A and B are shown apart, each in its own frame.
Chain A
């Protein structure tokens, strides 16, 4: 049982490049989430999904896109990377309310 896995662990992008952060969970959870954590700040919700085919914006969605075609996968897409998107990105999933299972994070730097 791997829980929530994220790839890659680290990435450096140039301004304007695009990339997809992958997130997979094997717990059959309906809810999945993407958070970002900037240095010295708390986690902020980017997007979340309550089931396959259903996504919604969180607190800081600008510059990102998501899709949820399966229960297991919830990729986060950055289309035109900007320095302001330098952050650590956490994916999480849950079935029970208010108890999230988190992945180890992806550290992204945009130069």
Chain B
């Protein structure tokens, strides 16, 4: 079946450090891939997405590249800020999915950035 595996957290970094949060997936065919972010006290928000192999999604300085050969969609940011402290969810949408309800989420990775 379809599944998403994320690295366990929390990930603790100092401000301006480089961030990588690993995400790998299992799916038949070519799913779409997403990163959602949940800031404290708020709901999940779509951060970025990629719909085909080698696509790079980017937003707010975050990037993730769809790697079919390694079935990965790792989230990266060159210089994190305290305001990036949040929980990050990797998700996939199975091939042929026609609705949001089919999204498969990872467990979430908490990022803590200190000044």
Contacts and interface: CB of A to CB of B under 8 A. Distances in A.
Interface of A: 3-4, 31, 33, 35, 37, 40-43, 45, 48, 50, 58, 90, 92, 94, 97-105
Interface residues of B, number: 25
A92 B104 contact: no
Contacts of A40: 107
> Which 8 A-B pairs rank lowest in CB-CB distance, beginning with the nearest?
A102-B43, A42-B105, A102-B44, A43-B105, A48-B101, A94-B100, A103-B43, A100-B100
A98 B91 CA distance: 10
Nearest to B99: A97
Contacts of B36: 102
A111 B49 CA distance: 39
Contact of A98 (B41, B103, B106, B108): B103
